[in-house]
């Protein structure tokens, strides 16, 4: 099951999208009728995917996505619009992961676009994992800061994954902050339902 937020100022469009996404992915999407409302929701909750129109009353879809990214929220966004210009698409694609679906569309087209973004999210997460590991194990100055930036993006991409917590615990332990490292390790263990751990399964020694 995935968590989806549908953002559109037309009620009938939101209703249609929610019905289609619910049927395709057996989930219960949340909705927002404006970008302002959506930002408030995203400040409190994390989603696997957001759908949004470019043309919204009040703040438009491009500004909405910019503000999401400034908040450190890198959730994939599917732009669903009948009015997006090539310039709009080029502008918004700077704030990926992003894809575009033109109205009107079929249910199968919607499924393919959502699946593509979710697959991209997974691949991006795995790429960041490799990069973060490299920086954590590097002895070069500034690489731990780079690792921390990447890990924070990973938290945004997959907030329910234990892996960013394991990485942050390892990073903080390397910095000597054992108390905070243990908190992240405990959070990782709580999320890691299979208790597989990440590289190691022992607790951090805080003595």
Element (H, E) at 102: strand 98-102
- Evaluate if residue 58 carries a pLDDT over 90: no
Residue 191 confidence (pLDDT):
86
Calculate mean pLDDT across residues 53-63: 89
Q: What is the DSSP string of 45-107?
A: ---SEEEE-SS-SSS-HHHHHHHHHHTT----EEEEESS--HHHHHHHGGGSSEEEEESS--H
Sheet-wide strand order for 4-7:
30-32, 4-7, 49-52, 77-81, 98-102
Extract the tokens encoding 28.
Answer: 């219960």
Handedness of CA 41, 46, 51, 54 (dihedral sign): positive
CATH of domain 4-120: 3.40.50.2300
Contact, 5 vs 47, CB < 8 A? yes
Task: Count CB neighbours of 176 within 10 A.
Answer: 7
- Evaluate if residue 26 carries a pLDDT over 50: yes
The residues of the chain that CATH labels 1.25.40 are 125-191
CATH topology classification for 125-191 = 1.25.40
Residue whose C-alpha is closest to residue 8's, from 75, 80, 96: 80
Please indicate whether residue 85 or residue 44 has the higher confidence score (pLDDT): 44
Task: Please count the helices (runs of H) and the strands (runs of E) in the chain.
Answer: 8, 5
Entry pTM: 0.73
- Evaluate if residue 201 carries a pLDDT over 70: no
Extract the tokens encoding 35.
Answer: 């970008």
Contact, 92 vs 65, CB < 8 A? yes
pLDDT band at 205 (very low <50, low <70, confident <90, very high): very low
Q: Tell me the longest C-alpha to C-alpha distance in the chain.
A: 62
Give, in order, the Cα–Cα distances in Å from 170 to each of 7, 139, 144, 178.
Answer: 37, 14, 10, 9
Give CA–CA dist 124/185, Å, rounded: 23
Give CA–CA dist 4/6, Å, rounded: 7
Contact, 46 vs 159, CB < 8 A? yes
Give CA–CA dist 44/132, Å, rounded: 26
Q: Render pLDDT for 107-164 as a digit per residue (tens, 0 to 9).
A: 999 999 999 999 988 888 899 999 999 999 998 989 999 999 999 888 888 888 899 9
Q: Render pLDDT for 77-111 as a digit per residue (tens, 0 to 9).
A: 999 988 777 887 888 878 788 999 988 899 999 99
The residues of the chain that CATH labels 3.40.50.2300 are 4-120
């Amino acid at each position: 099951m995935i968590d989806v937020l549908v953002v559109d100022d037309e009620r009938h469009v939101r209703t249609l999208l929610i019905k289609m996404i619910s049927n395709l992915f057996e989930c219960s999407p949340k909705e927002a009728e404006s970008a302002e409302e959506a930002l408030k929701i995203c400040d409190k909750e994390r989603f696997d995917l957001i759908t949004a129109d470019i043309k919204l009353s009040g703040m438009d879809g491009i500004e909405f996505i910019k503000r999401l990214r400034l908040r450190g929220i890198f959730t994939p966004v599917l732009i669903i619009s009948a009015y997006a210009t090539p310039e709009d698409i080029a502008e918004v694609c700077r704030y990926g992961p992003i894809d575009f679906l033109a109205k009107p569309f079929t249910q199968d087209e919607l499924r393919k676009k959502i699946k593509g973004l979710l697959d991209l999210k997974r691949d991006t997460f795995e790429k960041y994992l490799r990069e973060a590991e490299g920086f954590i194990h590097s002895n070069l100055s500034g690489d731990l800061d780079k690792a921390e930036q990447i890990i924070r993006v990973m938290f945004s991409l997959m907030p329910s994954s234990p892996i960013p917590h394991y990485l942050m615990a390892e990073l903080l332990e390397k910095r000597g902050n054992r108390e905070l490292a243990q908190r992240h390790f405990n959070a990782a263990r709580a999320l890691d339902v299979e208790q597989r751990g990440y590289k190691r399964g022992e607790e951090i020694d805080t003595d």
